[in-house]
Amino acid sequence: DAKTTQPPSMDCAEGRAANLPCNHSTISGNEYVYWYRQIHSQGPQYIIHGLKNNETNEMASLIITEDRKSSTLILPHATLRDTAVYYCIVRVWTNAGKSTFGDGTTLTVKP
């Protein structure tokens, strides 16, 4: 699986958009980009995933660059409850289930 690089921490003002970057320069053509978040000490929560097209759901948007070497998770109107650790994962699992979450980005939303 491709390695990912994320900034260790970011701040965002409440009500503003939070843009969380992820670098995955070694991504392969059949690898998906997944984003999860972990609020305080709860179990991680799935947010969104994509292959090469931009994706949007009720939680967030995912923008993947044309060369697929990086992506950005966008929380359009961040709230205090979005304060969490955000993990970017790139993987193709075929017949294996190995996954590495890395250390993620700690997003702090401030009033």
Partner 1 sequence: NAGVTQTPKFQVLKTGQSMTLQCAQDMNHNSMYWYRQDPGMGLRLIYYSASEGTTDKGEVPNGYNVSRLNKREFSLRLESAAPSQTSVYFCASSESTAGGPGDEQFFGPGTRLTVL
Q: How distant, in Å, are the alpha carbons of 13, 18, 36, 51 from that of 29?
A: 36, 27, 21, 8
The yes or no reply on residue 59 touching partner 1 (CB under 8 A) is no
Query: 16 or 100, CB closer to partner 1?
Result: 100
Q: Kindly tell me which of 25 and 28 has the beta carbon lying closer to partner 1.
A: 28
Residue 82: other Cβ atoms inside 10 A: 19
Shortest distance, position 102 Cβ to partner 1, whole Å: 5
Check if the beta carbon of residue 18 is closer than 8 Å to that of residue 74.
yes
Interaction site with partner 1 (CB under 8 A): 30-32, 34, 36, 41-46, 49, 51, 87, 91-104
